[in-house]
Chains A and B, each alone.
Chain A
Amino acid sequence: MRMVVVDLGEIDARDCEPVAAALEQFTPSAEALRPGLHAFGARGPSRCFGGERALVELVAQATADSTPSARSVGVGVADGFFAAGLAARLARVSERTEMRSPVAAQPSTERSPTAQSPAVSLSLFTAVLVVPPGQGRQFLAGLPLTSLSDPVSPLYSDEKGTEVLLDVLWRLGIRTLGDLAALSESDMLGRFGWPGLLAYRLVCGLDDRPQQVKPAPTSSAVEAEIDPPAERIETVAFTARALADDMVSRLARDGLDCVSIGITAESDSGHASNRRWRHEFRFNAADIVDRVRWQLEGWHRSPDRPTGPVTLIRIAPCVVSPADGRQLGMWGAKSDADERAARALARVQGLLGAEAVTVPRLAGGRRPADIGRRVPYDAAEASGAGGYSATALDGGRGKKSRGRKPPRASRTVTTGARKAGADKATEAVEAPWPGRLPPPQPAVVLERPEPITVTDCEGNTVTVGGRGEASAAPWQVTDTKGRSRMVVAWAGPWPLDERWWRQSARRRQARFQLVLDDGSAHLCVLESGRWQREATYD
């Protein structure tokens, strides 16, 4: 199936509505994968607009006209969604790097389309790349192996599994998609199971799930009237969450996965927004809620924005495919308690906004605020992060306290997870990070560090010289409100010079641990002459 994919790169949900509107003049069934990545079938529209080539140029022009700022647009056409998506990506990137260079202007259709063939620049910021029918496999052969984890790939949503797969393939000496296509199908299935087979079919230019996709049963559409009408997007999203749960579980009961949905929102003022969204793999409830949020954000910014609150939301599956029967792991399945917590958090998000709920995750870094971070709950849930934090914890501890008693409990989890593969996050956490302060870590890390004054016994501010020595022993600490405490014990200064290779990102500080006369202990930092209290060992 010939597909057209329009790629705008990373774009805000609010800015992609004009693009969706522009594509509507070519086809009623344009689908968005995410803001900035739109797709539709080429066969129908190309008959109406004078052939594929003409259609693509019109689409590229319309897209470029409707994008808010000077951003590069890539349009790709190929057999199947995967190849078309990569073609669009390639067109956009090559357009950006070779902007206005004469080589880029040569038409590519005469040559065989390989990864090196430049896309055709139409205007300053637009480029198209058409892969002739039947040549998808040759086109893909020249692309690097990492293209399999591109957002247009069906393997994209299983981030962890794909990373393991790509890692193993890389170590087997496979560098391009062509290398992979040269293997045999049965070997790929035997060694890597279902994901391996999918990857193999993709690189051979066989469209993902070609014949099995079919229109959805109309009965599985869900809708809800919102009463009282919702002024805020969060309120709609909360309602949508329940609808999405309902729809996904209903489809699951029939053994179906949903790859494309239509979302309709109606407002008090009689306006309606109608968009189709496609998922590279399959929708779960959280994905659907995201799409609802994106669509509403865009709608509220568009020229025909609703003047009244939202009164109705409808979610209909457009295209479904048989569920492939991937089973949840014996320990990966969600328990009742997990579901209960997820429901409570969805309710809180409805009250306070999506960004109010975060989950703690370990990350690499030297300062306390870098070691432990807060990740938006939605993002963490989508990536299905599980297990790595336990690994990270023990890994970090093991490194820091070599020779001490091995940590308890999750030891087995650690070795198991480590064997499982190269998890980049875990790697960053387990890296030694020289310069990091040893445990204990401060229990309170201030969101906004508090400015303080640290003086020596003569009343002069304590400074740290170029050789990393304190000018005098810290004697007294005064906060912004003028309250002072005596220092009873101190240690430091420990210098930290991060990212010295880039002037704008460089951070140079001297850290002290100060114990005050009320028994509290603090991590205080001197950075470009200013003292700050960064954390407290509470």
Chain B
Amino acid sequence: MEGALATLLPEGGIRRGTAVAVDGHGSMTLAMALAAEASRRGSWVAAVGMADLGVAALAERGVDLDRWALVDLPGAARTGSLAADVLGAVVGGFDLVLLGPEIRVAGATARRLLARMREHGTSLVCVLGGTSADITAGLVPEARLTVTQTQWTGIDDGHGRLLARRAEVTVGGRGAASRPRRLLMWLPSTDGRVACAEPVKDSALGDGHEDVTERRAS
């Protein structure tokens, strides 16, 4: 994984066969950046149930569009057995799957899906899109990345334009990720990349939080 994303994820990347959840304003950009990393290494990526995905932004993140497929799930098919069948098929053929916000997979189905993911070495990125519902109840994610406190630069009251976004990403989850961490990132930066932001000037972070940027600096 590229610098910023490697620091973000507990094991330096998404482990094959596991799920990661992203949440908050900026989750789509973060998910695209994760997928772009896989795509650059030649992996096939499918986005399921993401009718609103911005294709132009996808290209901007550096995704290889020739190895990207979009599967539209109509409203009625987002829950239940059809969704499970579609996900089962997609998981068997792709290295990374992005899952849209409104898809629900229940307990037993989710467990079967996880088993299939492990078998094929497929990773899953669930974009929760602010709903923060318990979709992941069945698909327990290894790590959960939440974008908090975003700040756009370049735009002001009536002039300028959106240039770059500074965001704080909180990482939580199980195993190696169980210790919550925070990281300041550009999502994206002015040159269109996802990168680490400068260390916080005010480093008085809450208890139990390890400031990754500080650690890297030292």
Chain A positions near chain B (C-beta within 8 angstroms): 337-338, 340-345, 347-348, 351-352, 356-362, 368, 371-374, 377, 385-387, 389-390, 392-393, 396-397, 401, 404-405, 407-409, 437-447, 470, 473, 489-491, 513, 515, 518-521, 535, 537-538
Contact = CB atoms under 8 A, between A and B. Distances in A.
Nearest to A380: B66
Contacts of A338: 44, 67
A440 B56 CA distance: 9
A491 B58 contact: no
Interface stretch (B137-145, B159-167, B170-178): B159-167
A17 to B, nearest CB: 29
Specify the main secondary structure of chain B where it touches its partner. Answer: mixed
Contacts of B149: 519
Contact of A521 (B46, B64, B93, B152): B152
A358 B72 contact: yes
B56 A368 contact: yes
Interface in B74-96: 74, 77, 82, 85-86, 89-90, 92-95
B59 A372 contact: yes
Given A389-B65, A390-B64, A489-B156, 14 more contacts: A340-B44, A351-B85, A356-B74, A360-B65, A401-B192, A404-B191, A405-B191, A409-B40, A441-B56, A442-B56, A445-B53, A445-B56, A489-B157, A538-B25
B29 A538 contact: yes
B195 to A, nearest CB: 13
B37 to A, nearest CB: 12
A322 B62 CA distance: 42
A538 B155 contact: no
A513 B159 CA distance: 10
A519 B59 contact: no
Specify the main secondary structure of chain A where it touches its partner. Answer: mixed
Contacts of B1: none
Contact of A489 (B57, B93, B152): B152
B158 A377 contact: no
Contacts of A437: 161
Contacts of A392: 59
B124 interface: no
A538 B92 CA distance: 29
B28 interface: yes
B29 A443 contact: yes
A386 to B, nearest CB: 6
Contacts of A368: 54, 56
Interface of B: 25-29, 32, 40, 42-44, 46, 51-60, 62, 64-74, 77, 82, 85-86, 89-90, 92-95, 129, 149-152, 155-165, 188, 191-192
Given A446-B52, A491-B159, A515-B155, A441 B93 contact: no
Question: Closest 7 CB pairs between A and B?
Answer: A344-B93, A372-B55, A372-B56, A389-B65, A441-B56, A538-B28, A443-B28
B155 A447 contact: no
Contacts of B152: 489, 515, 521, 537
Contact of A344 (B43, B77, B92, B159): B92
B58 A372 contact: yes
Contacts of B64: 389-390
B155 A347 contact: no
Contacts of B89: 344, 347-348, 351
Contacts of B162: 440, 491, 513, 515, 521, 537
A519 B68 contact: no
A537 B165 contact: yes
A170 B129 CA distance: 52
A269 B85 CA distance: 30
Contacts of A442: 54, 56-57
Contacts of A407: 62
A403 to B, nearest CB: 11
Nearest to A342: B93
A491 B69 contact: no
B90 A348 contact: yes
27 contacts: A337-B43, A338-B44, A342-B93, A343-B93, A344-B89, A347-B92, A348-B86, A352-B86, A362-B65, A389-B65, A392-B59, A404-B191, A440-B162, A442-B56, A443-B28, A443-B32, A444-B52, A491-B155, A491-B158, A491-B161, A491-B162, A515-B162, A519-B25, A519-B151, A521-B155, A537-B29, A538-B28
